[in-house]
A and B are shown apart, each in its own frame.
Chain A
Amino acid sequence: MTLEHYLIAAGILFCTGLFGMIVRRNILVIFMCLELILASATLTLVAFSRFRLTSGLPDIDAQMLVFFVITVAAAEVAVGLAIIVSLYRSTQSVHMEDLHTLKG
């Protein structure tokens, strides 16, 4: 399979994630769609790492980047969920319409 296929697949995944974030009202689902977008990004990275070989092997630095992305994403999810919990505790709701206190 060519790189193009992988890129298109990742692109579709990215768009569904974006669509999901814009459409869904529930903040947790939005968060999941965010994870989707992250996954599509890592997929593209790995695809390019495999495509561009450095001295015969897939580019290891790209995979390092993916490795760090994954770890950071994990931390981010943890903190995000904690915020959502405290948010929920203060506003008793997870729907986006109620969360506009940071209005300009």
Chain B
Amino acid sequence: MVQLPWLLLLLPLATAALIHFALGGSGRLAAWTGTASAFGMLGLSVSLLVGATAEASPFVWLETGMFHPDLEQAITLSLKTDRLALSMMLVVTIVGALVHLFSLTYMAEDKARPRYYAGLSLFLFSMTGIVLAGNLFMMFIFWELVGLSSYLLIGHWFTKKSAAEASKKAFLTNRIGDFGFLVGILLIWGAFGTVDFNALERRVDLGNLPLTGGLLTAGILCLFAGAVGKSAQFPLHVWLPDAMEGPTPVSALIHAATMVAAGVYMLVRISFLIALDPTAAMTIAWIGGGTALLAALLATQQDDIKRVLAYSTLSQLGYMVMAVGLLASQAAYFHLFTHAFFKALLFLGAGAVIYCCHHEQNIWKMGGLAKRMPLTFATFAIGTACLIAVPYVTSGFYSKEAILDSAYAASRPLFWIAAFVALLTAFYMTRLVVVAFLGKARSQYARDAVEAPTPMAFALTCLTLLSIVGGFRFFAEAILPRGFYPTFDSPHHNFVMAVSIICLLAGVVASFLLYRGREKDPLHITPLRRGLYIDDLYTGLIRLFQDGAAAVAAAFDRHILNGFFLGGTAALTQAVGSVFRRMQPGSLHFYLVLAALGIMLLIWATSTV
């Protein structure tokens, strides 16, 4: 009897292989196969959620040959299908299916469609691997595979120089994060002897932790480094805005809903570990808060519609990481759950706009699209509402409130940062909507923009429904694990509510007044436009330390090691050789004299004895 979780995991892999090897020729066939498999996965995950038998026997991947009782005999791929995993699977498959649907038209005339759909299926395979992973090894394996698929998808149009650079940058930054993640896993494995989540949880509940103090913090922060790399948190956030070089549906699937959420998902998975060490938790919280603030500030000054949304994703992820750091991982996961839907909606909306404006991404060249693309405008507006957390109606409100509650309870400075970020979010989203959709069309493309075709429209409407419904108790409780839906019973709830509504209104009004009927951006803060020059700092650092050090090492290797040692010894032997050469002048007499000298020496030596 086929085990459903394994089928769920291996279906996308099989599709990717089928498309690559068999359907390389026809784009259409590849597109339909990819979409079919995505909807198949959706069906599977829904059936698993509603209670189909979810047992999955572990697959022994690598025998370590250890025969100690307490050491793991082998590295196994065991699937963990608790409600957390299944709810995340639902999110992944819903967004995945809709993105496939959306791409049918968006990528219709792309020449390399088989490679695109193979990449999407490979991504779904790796993402499922992370979600269903039962131990840290398996999670690490699929962690890197997700990095690979994002590399392939960002670099889909690899003939474009910027896309090639962006994909390389994404992979390398992720790789740095994976380095930290692997070191963390090694520490945990070395100390606990196992990396299986259930076993770890049991060991933690037992109490006597083998890993304590500095090493525990180091271990947790190393694991967090993996999340920083994948969810683009502060030090390693530079790759996400550039990742917008990939096709928009890819950005919707990967860089909004699923892949970047994997980091948060992993943090939620190991939240019982984070709870052990307050210092580590606080650092995580502050990094999350910092990223949220930084990204929100940067978003206010972006002109490319996709970059605005990218920075907004960064800031929302910052929120979630902050929540995990404040030991409110339920709130973080709930926000992840709702955010996935409305951010995917916004991205697909942006995709529809770009598709209809002939790949025009600069919002200052759009304008007046509300009249020409009413449905897209409506769905985009609802998505924005969720993002800026319009109270009671949108899902975003409920999840953000939960985070703000926990922030207020845990640490006041972080709460005020979070509130200010909420204000900024409202500000830049309203700016986006006002500039892109309201007012007059600013370019020819914008004037003759036409409503999105039906498959796109269908995807947008589905996501809109989900973004609204996602926040309500009846829907969320059915999907989320028990206790993950916020109860809002904390004493300071009303105060927090009031603060968030004020920030919301302030942000919207300010942005509306500032940007209504403008031809170009009144505010022009260059540091914000250049991402606070962090990117340039990194390139400088890389050029100095890596390439500089490489040049020095190469020079050292060529001249000192090869030149001096080898060259030197060669020259030495040459010199010694030539000394002996002079001993043979060629004249017989010289040899005779030498022979005579030899005789003399011989006689002298023997006679004196």
Contact = CB atoms under 8 A, between A and B. Distances in A.
A96 B587 contact: yes
B582 interface: yes
A18 B580 CA distance: 26
A30 B588 contact: yes
A100 B581 CA distance: 14
A103 B232 CA distance: 76
B66 interface: no
A26 B409 CA distance: 117
A100 B593 contact: no
A18 B585 contact: no
Interface in A57-104: 96-97, 99-104
B589 A104 contact: no
B491 interface: no
A22 interface: yes
A96 B582 contact: no
A46 interface: no
Contacts of B592: 18, 21-22
B593 A103 contact: no
Contacts of A21: 592
B586 interface: yes
Range, interface on chain A: 10 to 19
Contacts of B587: 96-97, 100
B596 interface: yes
Nearest to A15: B596
Interface string A26-70: 010010000000000000000000000000000000000000000
B598 to A, nearest CB: 12
A96 B584 contact: no
A103 B590 CA distance: 12
Nearest to A30: B588
B388 to A, nearest CB: 93
Interface string B248-266: 0000000000000000000
A22 B581 contact: no
Contacts of A103: 584-586
B589 A100 contact: no
A96 B588 contact: yes
Contact of B583 (A30, A97, A104): A104
B601 to A, nearest CB: 15
Contact of B586 (A22, A30, A104): A104
B596 A104 contact: no
A22 B584 contact: no
Contacts of A99: 588
B228 to A, nearest CB: 71
A96 B589 contact: yes
Contacts of B588: 27, 30, 96, 99
Contacts of A27: 588
Contacts of B580: 104
Contact of A100 (B582, B583, B586): B586
A52 B384 CA distance: 128
A18 B586 contact: no
A90 to B, nearest CB: 16
B593 A104 contact: no
A18 B593 CA distance: 9
Nearest to B596: A18
Residue from A27, A97, A103, A104 with most neighbouring chain B CB atoms (10 Å):
A104
B223 to A, nearest CB: 72
B585 A22 contact: no
A96 B589 CA distance: 8
Nearest to A18: B596
Interface in B182-241: none
A94 to B, nearest CB: 12
Interface in B557-608: 580-589, 592-593, 596
Contact of B596 (A22, A96, A97, A102): A22
A22 B588 CA distance: 9
A100 B596 contact: no
A22 B593 contact: yes
Given A96-B588, A104-B580, 6 more contacts: A22-B592, A22-B596, A101-B586, A102-B586, A103-B586, A104-B585
Interface of A: 18, 21-22, 27, 30, 96-97, 99-104
Interface of B: 580-589, 592-593, 596
Which 3 A-B pairs rank lowest in CB-CB distance, beginning with the nearest?
A104-B584, A100-B586, A103-B586
29 contacts: A18-B592, A18-B596, A21-B592, A22-B589, A22-B592, A22-B593, A22-B596, A27-B588, A30-B588, A96-B587, A96-B588, A96-B589, A97-B587, A99-B588, A100-B585, A100-B587, A101-B586, A102-B584, A102-B586, A103-B584, A103-B585, A103-B586, A104-B580, A104-B581, A104-B582, A104-B583, A104-B584, A104-B585, A104-B586
